[in-house]
Structure formats: structure tokens, C-alpha cells
């Protein structure tokens, strides 16, 4: 369920300028400039500790940047307007202990004033093979089932920007294909989708690949399986991105 | 309708969803409660708690204070109690700068605070409930203090109960409110610390000058209102109460600014903390509390020790390396606890016997910091098991440096007692108490951190005994010598001689505790052949 319009005149759904985040002495993100436009499906890749989760959490409004700005549809990340536009699927699913899957879907849909959430919720759980689990507690699900439930919660509400942090983790191959289809559909409907992953399946559907290394943007270009599998990331040079490749900007 | 207008229009429905869900969860929770059992426990708690308190108060039969002491309390008491309020506010500010005082569910952070509903409105209900709980806890503690106060001080008992109860409630609410203000307004650590120092400084100036100028001292004056003279105006205590109310309102109004990063971190830690409390794992509680307070060892030690050679003093050196990495806040806390113990012991010497409990608790809390090297050893059982010496022997050697540290804490207590004008006999007794009390508190803390929280998972009564024993031993070992020495002084005997005799018994208790520690660790971490 994606939003059909935004109030911003800027075509970029996500716009980061000089985005920087430090944890004590560790630089998790170093002065990142980034624009992601409507309908783009971006594979965000990089080795562990590259800054992928930090970038997504800042965009979701969960973390504050140490410096720089980040806007979602023209509103500061974390503001009410930005929260209405951003759906975030965390790397570790988070659920209430005392709510069933159906109750979670209802609650989140209502918090976001999602229209016709019952039909959409039923369709989502059917797609993800969760229809038998509607009345069950997600906290008692297996790892893969919890991940599917978390994906359903990410898709139940309207959004212009979908941030998915390692959404393929724990999913079986058929479920991965379902998720690929869901991401493709969200992007086709006009949402900007950013997926942090090491899975090469994303190469087939993504329109752009962004690689981070030690908090720096080292690749921003067409999807490349070798880059996505993160074994062959170009090492950043002092003050410059990967040679011959665009560093940033909406393509 | 633009999207911005649509978000605004959606706000009420989002809040309505939030209210509906919370109401449904409360109903579900209430359905699971066995009300008869709960009421029965409450009934027992009130009956036995009240009876116990009345019996203890009656049994202590502390004498009423003289005219001179009443005058001193009347002059310095408001500022002294104001200092307590200032400490609570300063603690609240520091906690708030780290994201306190609210503890949210991780799911609330993810699903509610990331949704487009007003965060202030979403958090207000929880914050009000927490303020209510803190205020009620403060009220109960205040009532207990009022119960002891009216037995020694002039004034109608009802007035003492009322004033002490309201003071306790206002003290707790002020601490909580200051944390909400710091958290909601995103005060930086440095700014919060500076503000805390200023508030403490103002109260200290009041105390030194025996004046009532700060709102904290005004609240202190409220607690001692039963001692007021006929011409005294109630304007200052009322202003103190108003300041506390304004702080609560200011804190509640800024809740929307709460940091989600801190909320998420606290959510995870608080869940672990609740579990640790449930299984009575004091060591885990201490470690998690330090993480909640972002209290980490210094990356650069206060002083770098020269590298040692050979195994002879390896443990001694390792322990001092640990102490030399204490963050400033821990150093200050341990010193304050030592000073508090000293003041409480002087108060007990002068006739307020319940203060012995305060002194004992302050010392055991300080000992939990001093025993850290032992805790670290127990936290890494594989390393301990692989050493070429018995674990019991390692733990015993680990006690030496922490005992020296605890002796330092007790020296702070003695110095504070001298500064507070304690009589010579009292100071002499405290000096006798330094070493045995340091050994006892440290050994009891070591006994506590080496407890296996799962050992009595199926026998909760034994679990409570295991958790409570070290604390009980400290209360007896630190309180009894002071009490017996005081009795000796009252009956014309030598308090120092009485204290020395008592401390010999305390040393025997220490010997038994050390033997138990060695046996326990040797059994849990046997040397592999």
C-alpha cells in the first residue's frame, strides 16, 4: 500500500546532505550525500559495520544524525509528516507480547489511518503464507515466521518510502520470492524502496545499488551481483568515491 | 486535501487506536489477575508491614531530643533536607540526559513512536502513571520517616505524618520531573551535569548559611513544619510545592522530544533488568543499571601502573588497574555513600537508631562497587577454570585490594563524622569499626556477586534467603557494634572496649564468610587435572 502523492515539490523522496553519525569515537556514517527518488528500488549493500543499519535507522527517525540533514518527502526525518511516509522493517522483528498477528496488523493500520486495512491485511497474510496464524502470538513464532510477520507489519500501512533492513534473513526460498515480488510491486506503485541486504536476488529487481564501506559511500550505480554479495567492494580513496562511478544523486 | 492536512486529520484516529489498544491490553491484563490472591497479599503486606513498623518504632524507644538539638534542626534542617531534594533533582537531570526516566516497550518505540501520532500524547499516559507511582512510593517513605520523627521531636503526630509524607512525595516527584525535563528537552550530558552542580551548590550554600533560598530548601522547610514558630509563614513551603508542581508540568509538556535512540536502548536493558530482578540476580542488576546509566570504565586510567613481574602481585595489580579505570561518577558515588554512612552513624549515636539501617545499606551499596574485580572474575568462569591455581584461592586474593578500597570508604565516613561534629567517643568507635566493617561489607558483597541465581529456582524461599543473607549480615555486623558501644557509653562503660569486643565477633563472621566463599568457588570452578 503506497501513497499516491506527497506534499513536497522535490522529486526526491529521501534526501540526505552531509549526513554524519558517530558513536563515541567510531564514525558510522561519514558525510553522506544521497537522494532517492520515487519508484526507485535501491539495494543498500556493504560489509558488516559499514553503516547500513545506521543509515536506515536515521532515515526512519530512530537515530539522530551527529551532523547533516535528512529529509523524507521534504520533511525532517522523524517528524510527524516524515513518519507518515516512512515504513521501516527492522533487522530484528519487534512485537508486543500480548497481541496476535491480526491485532498487530489492526493496531498499526489504525495508527497510520490505513484505509480498508482488513482486506489488505488478509491479502498480505495470504501472500506470506501466514493466514493460519492470524490469531496466534508472533512472539511465539519461529524466526522465519516472525520475519514474515514483521514484513506484513511493514506493508500494512501506506508509505512513500520503505526501509527494509536485511528483510530476507530467516526466510525460506519461496518466501524470498514473495518478498521480491512485494518489493517490486511497492516500487512499481511509486514508492522509494531501500533494502539493506547481502542477497543477490535483489540484483534482478533493483534499479540502483549503493554500497557503503566504513560509513562512506563507495559505490552508487547499477545493480551488480558481485558488489551486492559484498565480496568485491571498491575501497574508498581519501576524499573520493569509487573511480569512474557516480557518488550520489537521483539518477 | 494535501497529505499534510491528511496527517493532521489522521492524528485523532491514531490516538484513538492507541487508547483502544491500551484499554484492551489493560482489560486483558486485569482478566489474568487473581484478585482474591492479590488482595490477600496486599492485606498481609499492610498488616504485617504496619505492625512491624509499629513494633520496631516502639521497641527502639529512642529518647526525645533536647531543646538545643531542636533549635539546630529548626535552623539547619530545611537546608539539609533541601540538599536531599537537590540530590534527587541532580540525579534526575543526569538520568534524563541519558534518556530516562521512562521505560518503554521496544514494540511501542517501533510501532507507536514511529507512527504519525503525537509522541507527547502517546507518552503522557505512561509518564503520568510513573509520576503517580514515584509520588506514592515517596509518600510511603515519608510516612515511615514521619512515624520515627514524631517520637523524638515535638509537634502533633498527625502533622509530622502529613508533612513528612507530602515532602517524600514531592521529593520523588521532583526527581522524576527533572528527569523528564532533561529527557524531553534533550539536555546534553554536560549541560545536565552543570545544571545539577548549580542546583546542588545552591542547596549547599543554603546549608552552610543556614538559610532557605532555594526551592529545594523550601520543600525541606515543609518537612519540618511541625517545628515552626507561631510567626512563621507557610509561603516558603508552599512555594517549594509549587516549584515541584511546575517542574512536573514542564516535564510532561516536553515528552514529545524524548530520544528514540535512548528509548530503544533503555527498552532492551529494562527488559533484561526486570528479568534479573525476578530471578534475584543482583550482579546482573548492578551491571545492567550501569549500562542504563552509561557508566563505563575510563579508556584512560587515572594513573597508569608500572607493569609487574611474575604472578606474585598479579591479582593485586589487576584489581587496582580496575579501580583506576573507575569513571568519575562512580568515584563520587562511593565517596557520597561513605559520607552518608558517616552522617547516619553519627545520627544513630545521637539517638536515632533507625539510621543504622541507612548506614549499613550505604556501605553495602559502596561494597558492590568495590567488589567489581571479584565480579569480573566470576563473570568469566572459563578463564577462572583454566587458571593453574584453585578458584577459591584466586577469589580470596581478589578480596585484598577491594578491602583496602572499602577501608578508604570508611575513612571518608569517619572524616565526615568528625566534620559533622561527632563526639570524641563516637569518632573513636568509628575508627575501631573501620577495618572489620570494611572486611565484612566486602566479603558479603563478594558472597552476593558469587550467588548462583538459578541454584534455588525451584525453592524460592531459599533463593530469598541467599539474596538477603549478605545484606542482613552487613546490617548486623555494621549496626550491632555501634549500637552496643552507644549503650555502653549511656551506662558509663567504655564504648571503645565494647566496640572492640563486638568487632572480634565480626571478624569471626568474616572468617566464616571467606571460608564459604572459597568453598563455593572451589566447587563451582574446580581445577582441571
Predicted confidence (pLDDT) per residue in B262-284, tens digit: 898 888 888 888 888 877 788 88
Does the pLDDT at position B185 exceed 90? yes
Residue A241 reports pLDDT greater than 70: no
CA distance B364 to B474: 7
Contact criterion met (CB < 8 Å) for A83 and B17: no
Instruction: Report which of residues A230 and A203 the model is more confident about.
Output: A203
The arithmetic mean of pLDDT across residues B345-353, rounded, is 88
Nearest to B117 among A7, A98, A111 (CB): A111
CA distance B221 to B237: 6
**B contact test, residue of A22, A66, A80, A92 with most B CBs within 10 A:** A80
Report the candidate in A162, A210, A218, A222 with the shortest Cα–Cα distance to residue A186: A162
Q: Which helix (H) or strand (E) holds B21?
A: helix B3-32
Which of B2, B6, B7, B266 is best to mutate for the A interface (most A CBs within 10 A)? Answer: B7
The dihedral over CA atoms of B5, B6, B7, B11, expressed in degrees to the nearest 10, equals: 100
Contacts of A81 in chain B (CB under 8 A): 3-4, 7, 116
Question: What grid cell was written down for A6?
Answer: 506527497
* pLDDT at residue A1, as a whole number: 63
Query: Does A21 score more than 50 pLDDT?
Result: yes
Q: Report the range of poorest mean pLDDT among A115-124, B39-48, B115-124.
A: B39-48
Any idea which of B110-119, B330-339, B382-391 has the lowest mean pLDDT? B382-391
Strand duo A161-165 + A86-89: pairing: parallel
Q: Are B224 and B163 in contact (CB under 8 A)?
A: yes
Residue B4 pLDDT exceeds 60: no
Q: Give the pLDDT score at A5.
A: 45
Q: Which residues of A touch B (CB under 8 A)?
A: 3, 5-7, 60-64, 73, 78, 80-81, 83-86, 88, 90, 94-96, 98-99, 103-104, 107-108, 110-113, 153, 157
What the block records as the C-alpha cell of B367 is: 561494597
Q: pLDDT at position A238, please? A: 40
Average pLDDT score over residue span B286-310: 83
Rounded average pLDDT over B60-69: 74
Average pLDDT of the residues of chain B: 88
pLDDT tier at A230, thresholds 50, 70, 90:
low
The confidence score (pLDDT) of residue B74 equals: 87
**B250 pLDDT exceeds 90?**
yes
Q: CB B2 to CB A7 under 8 A?
A: yes
> What one-character DSSP code corresponds to residue A17?
E
Residue A95 vs residue B6, higher pLDDT: A95
Distance to chain B for A219, nearest Cα, Å: 28
pTM of the model: 0.76
Task: Indicate if the pLDDT at residue A218 is higher than 50.
Answer: yes
- Binning pLDDT at 50, 70 and 90, where does residue B216 land? very high
Res B34 pLDDT > 90: no
Report the relative pairing of strands A67-72 and A12-23 from DSSP bridges. Answer: antiparallel
* pLDDT mean over A180-198: 93
Q: Which of A212-221, B224-233, B318-327, B335-344 has the lowest mean pLDDT?
A: B224-233
CA proximity to A104, closest of A143, A71, A72, A148: A148
Task: Give SS3 for A193.
Answer: strand
The burial class, CB within 10 Å (0-12 / 13-18 / 19+), for B253 is: middle
Cell of B62: 529512642
Handedness of CA B489, B494, B496, B501 (dihedral sign): negative
B458 touching A, CB under 8 A?
no
Model confidence over A65-74: pLDDT tens digits?
Answer: 999 999 999 9
Worst-scoring range by mean pLDDT, A180-184, B298-302, B488-492, B500-504? Answer: B298-302
Distance, CA of B302 to CA of B319 (rounded, Å): 14
Where is average pLDDT lowest: A185-194, B50-59, B301-310, B508-517? B50-59
B261–chain A Cβ distance below 8 A for any pair: yes
What is the pLDDT of chain A when averaged over all its residues?
Answer: 84
Most confident of B96-105, B144-153, B377-386, B470-479: B470-479
Q: Which of A62, A73, A112 sits opposite B116 (nearest CB)?
A: A112
A240: pLDDT strictly greater than 60: no
Q: Residue B63: is its pLDDT beyond 90?
A: no
- Asked if A83 lies within 8 A of B114 by C-beta distance, the reply is yes
Grid coordinates representing A234?
571498491
Q: Which three cell numbers stand for residue B348?
A: 544513630
Amino acid at each position: 500500500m503506497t501513497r499516491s502523492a506527497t506534499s513536497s515539490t522535490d522529486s526526491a523522496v529521501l534526501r540526505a546532505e552531509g549526513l554524519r553519525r558517530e558513536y563515541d569515537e567510531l564514525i558510522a556514517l561519514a558525510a553522506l550525500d544521497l537522494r532517492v527518488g520515487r519508484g526507485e528500488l535501491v539495494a543498500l549493500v556493504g560489509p558488516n559495520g559499514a553503516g547500513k543499519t545506521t543509515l536506515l535507522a536515521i532515515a526512519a527517525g530512530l537515530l539522530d544524525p551527529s551532523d547533516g540533514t535528512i529529509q523524507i518527502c521534504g520533511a525532517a526525518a522523524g517528524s510527524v509528516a516524515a513518519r507518515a511516509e516512512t515504513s521501516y522493517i527492522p533487522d530484528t522483528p519487534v512485537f508486543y507480547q500480548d497481541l496476535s498477528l491480526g491485532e498487530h496488523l489492526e493496531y498499526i493500520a489504525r495508527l497510520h489511518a490505513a484505509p480498508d486495512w482488513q482486506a489488505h491485511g488478509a491479502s498480505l497474510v495470504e501472500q506470506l503464507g501466514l493466514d493460519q496464524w492470524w490469531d496466534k502470538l508472533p512472539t511465539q513464532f519461529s524466526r522465519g515466521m516472525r520475519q514474515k510477520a514483521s514484513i506484513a507489519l511493514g506493508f500494512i500501512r501506506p508509505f512513500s518510502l520503505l526501509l527494509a533492513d536485511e528483510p530476507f534473513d530467516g526466510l525460506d526460498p519461496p518466501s524470498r520470492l514473495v518478498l521480491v515480488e512485494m518489493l517490486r510491486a511497492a516500487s512499481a506503485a511509486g514508492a522509494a524502496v531501500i533494502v539493506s541486504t547481502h542477497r543477490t536476488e535483489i540484483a534482478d529487481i533493483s534499479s540502483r545499488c549503493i554500497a557503503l564501506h566504513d560509513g562512506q559511500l563507495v559505490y552508487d550505480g547499477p545493480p551488480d551481483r558481485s558488489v551486492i554479495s559484498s565480496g568485491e567492494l571498491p575501497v574508498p580513496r581519501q576524499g573520493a568515491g569509487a573511480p569512474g562511478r557516480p557518488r550520489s544523486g537521483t539518477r | 486535501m494535501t497529505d499534510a492536512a491528511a496527517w493532521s486529520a489522521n492524528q485523532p484516529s491514531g490516538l484513538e487506536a492507541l487508547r483502544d489498544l491500551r484499554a484492551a491490553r489493560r482489560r486483558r491484563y486485569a482478566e489474568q489477575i487473581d484478585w482474591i490472591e492479590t488482595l490477600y497479599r496486599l492485606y498481609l503486606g499492610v498488616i504485617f508491614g504496619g505492625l512491624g513498623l509499629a513494633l520496631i518504632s516502639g521497641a527502639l524507644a529512642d529518647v526525645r531530643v533536647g531543646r538545643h538539638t531542636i533549635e539546630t534542626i529548626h535552623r539547619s534542617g530545611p537546608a539539609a533536607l533541601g540538599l536531599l531534594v537537590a540530590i534527587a533533582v541532580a540525579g534526575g537531570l543526569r538520568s534524563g540526559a541519558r534518556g530516562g526516566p521512562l521505560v518503554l516497550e521496544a514494540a511501542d518505540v517501533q510501532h507507536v513512536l514511529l507512527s504519525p501520532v503525537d509522541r507527547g500524547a502517546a507518552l503522557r499516559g505512561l509518564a503520568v502513571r510513573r509520576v503517580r507511582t514515584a509520588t506514592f512510593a515517596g509518600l510511603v517513605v515519608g510516612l515511615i520517616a514521619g512515624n520515627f520523627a514524631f517520637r523524638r521531636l515535638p509537634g502533633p503526630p498527625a502533622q509530622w505524618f502529613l508533612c513528612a509524607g507530602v515532602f517524600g512525595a514531592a521529593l520523588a516527584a521532583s526527581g522524576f520531573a527533572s528527569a523528564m525535563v532533561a529527557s524531553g528537552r534533550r539536555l546534553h550530558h554536560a549541560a545536565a551535569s552543570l545544571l545539577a552542580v548549580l542546583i546542588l551548590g545552591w542547596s549547599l550554600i543554603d546549608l552552610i548559611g543556614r538559610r532557605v533560598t532555594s526551592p529545594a530548601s523550601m520543600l525541606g522547610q515543609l518537612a519540618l513544619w511541625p517545628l515552626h514558630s507561631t510567626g512563621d509563614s507557610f509561603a516558603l513551603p508552599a512555594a517549594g510545592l509549587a516549584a515541584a508542581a511546575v517542574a512536573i508540568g514542564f516535564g510532561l509538556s516536553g515528552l514529545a522530544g524524548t530520544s528514540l535512540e535512548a528509548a530503544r536502548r533503555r527498552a532492551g536493558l529494562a527488559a533484561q533488568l526486570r528479568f534479573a530482578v525476578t530471578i534475584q540476580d543482583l550482579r546482573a542488576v548492578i551491571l545492567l543499571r550501569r549500562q542504563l546509566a552509561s557508566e563505563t570504565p575510563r579508556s584512560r586510567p587515572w594513573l597508569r601502573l608500572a607493569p609487574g613481574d611474575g604472578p606474585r602481585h598479579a591479582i593485586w595489580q589487576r584489581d587496582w588497574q580496575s579501580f583506576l579505570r573507575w569513571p568519575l561518577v562512580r568515584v563520587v558515588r562511593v565517596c557520597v555513600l561513605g559520607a552518608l554512612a558517616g552522617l547516619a552513624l553519627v545520627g544513630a549515636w545521637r539517638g536515632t537508631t533507625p539510621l543504622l539501617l541507612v548506614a549499613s545499606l550505604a556501605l553495602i551499596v559502596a561494597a558492590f562497587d568495590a567488589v567489581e574485580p571479584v565480579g569480573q572474575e566470576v563473570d568469566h568462569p572459563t578463564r577462572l577454570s583454566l587458571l593453574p591455581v584453585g578458584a577459591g584461592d584466586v577469589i580470596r586474593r581478589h578480596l585484598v585490594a577491594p578491602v583496602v578500597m572499602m577501608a578508604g570508604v570508611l575513612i571518608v565516613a569517619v572524616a565526615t563524622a568528625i566534620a559533622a561534629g561527632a563526639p570524641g567517643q563516637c569518632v573513636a568507635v568509628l575508627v575501631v569499626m573501620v577495618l572489620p566493617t570494611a572486611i565484612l561489607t566486602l566479603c558479603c558483597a563478594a558472597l552476593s556477586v558469587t550467588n548462583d541465581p538459578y541454584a534455588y529456582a525451584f525453592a524460592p524461599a531459599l533463593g530469598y534467603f541467599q539474596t538477603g543473607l549478605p545484606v542482613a549480615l552487613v546490617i548486623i555486623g555494621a549496626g550491632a557494634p555501634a549500637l552496643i558501644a552507644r549503650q555502653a557509653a549511656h551506662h558509663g562503660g567504655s564504648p571503645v572496649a565494647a566496640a572492640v569486643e563486638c568487632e572480634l565477633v565480626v571478624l569471626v563472621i568474616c572468617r566464616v564468610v571467606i571460608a564459604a566463599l572459597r568453598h563455593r568457588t572451589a566447587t563451582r570452578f574446580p581445577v582441571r587435572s
